[in-house]
Amino acid sequence: MIDPFGREVSYLRVSVTDRCDFRCTYCMAENMTFLPKKDVLSLEELEAITASFIRKGVKKVRLTGGEPLVRKGIMELINNLGRYIDSGELHELTLTTNGSQLSKYAKDLYAAGVRRINVSVDTLDPHLFTMVTRWGDLSKVLEGLDAAQEAGLKIKINTVAVKGVNDHQLDEMVEWAGGRGMDLTFIETMPMGAIDELRSEKFLSLEEVKKSLSQNWTFQDTDYKTGGPADYVIVQETGQRLGFITPLSHNFCESCNRVRLTCTGMLYMCLGQNDNADLKQVIRSTNGYEKLDAAIDEAIGRKPKGHDFMIDRKNDQKPAVARHMSVTGG
Ligand code: SAM
Ligand code: SF4
């Protein structure tokens, strides 16, 4: 699949649920209204749409959410998608998780063909962790990380850098992740969905973070790319990769290879734009694959050149994109 700007679309992110067992302050309001069940694609529908993308050339699928591992029956979907890894049609099946359920699922994920996962951890301070996630328990997540590494899964940690919250602990994160043989990516907050606080007061530029970290660590340039928007360096002291996702300070759209499917079957061609295609309506109104394939082709033909994110005081009350990150899954 080639979009109008000549970019090959080979990466599909699938949000399998909008629900979550955490309520991270930058992601959700404490009182969230979740979608009614009838609006959410069944596991079979999620699989059928993902299979269409694989037929059309998608090589990498990432499951996300909400929290993908709280969706009932999720291993069924993961096992079924794992068959495309066995057949060679899919090169990578992975997920982004908050880690709360990893102790339970790590071995099954490996058995299904998953080899790498992203786990979100913003701080190693248990008290602060509960403040940021509102409902999370750091010790459970750390147990999950142990289980995942024991099962043979490679881990990349995602840390959202938030001013006045975890900005004083980022060195510690580099040391911890490096010491455990895990890559680490810092993420800038993105203006998505209404939350309970002002975003401009919490925005931290990763350019400054990188500068300050480089006083304590030696960064080696690398041209490593995961197909994601992160810019990577290698931390010489730990030998691990360190990534910086800076959607607001830089434009990473030129090399964008991905599209996103929500759990309601809406296909978003860009995380930072509202244009979408309703694949649920297509899959619920036909039996064969032709209409679905045609709807996907039509949508890829509308993939925009880039996003319009902006955080400033004027825009604080009005997020650049009204949907929460938990809808499109980041
Ligand atoms: N629940 C899983 C997790 O937390 O990893 C998967 C879904 S979560 C929406 C995916 C990633 O998006 C997480 O790393 C999270 O920290 C990040 N995220 C959520 N809201 C964000 C925001 N407004 N700006 C930047 N990153 C955000
Ligand atoms: Fe849940 Fe992930 Fe959002 Fe946190 S970032 S509330 S864990 S979906």
Q: With CA atoms as reference, report the closest residue to 303 among 262, 264, 272.
A: 272
Which sequence spans correspond to the domains of the chain? 11-328
Residue 135 — pLDDT band, cuts 50, 70, 90? very high
Q: Are 154 and 116 in contact (CB under 8 A)?
A: yes
Residue 26 — pLDDT band, cuts 50, 70, 90? confident
Q: How far is the CA of 258 from the centre of ligand 1 (A)?
A: 17
The pLDDT assigned to 247 comes to 66
Average pLDDT over residues 298-309: 83
Largest Cα–Cα distance in the chain? 59
Report residue 193 CA to chain centroid gap: 16
Q: Which atom of ligand 2 is nearest to the CA of 67?
A: 8
The pLDDT assigned to 313 comes to 46
102-125 tens-digit pLDDT? 999 999 999 999 999 999 999 999
What superfamily would CATH give domain 11-328? Aldolase class I (3.20.20.70)
The pLDDT assigned to 128 comes to 97
275-291 tens-digit pLDDT? 899 999 999 998 888 99
Which tokens hold the place of 142? 């750390």
Q: Which atom of ligand 1 is nearest to the CA of 119?
A: 5
Alpha helices for the chain (secondary structure H): 43-55, 74-86, 102-112, 126-133, 138-151, 170-179, 206-213, 279-285, 290-300, 325-328
pLDDT at 260 over 80: yes
Residue 226 — pLDDT band, cuts 50, 70, 90? low
- Residues in contact with ligand 1 by the CB-under-6-Å rule are 20, 26-27, 64-65, 67, 96-98, 120, 158, 160, 187, 189-190, 192, 325-326, 329-330
Average pLDDT over residues 240-269: 85
Locate the DSSP E strands across 10-153: 11-15, 60-64, 92-97, 116-120
Higher pLDDT, 265 or 195: 265
Average pLDDT over residues 65-80: 97
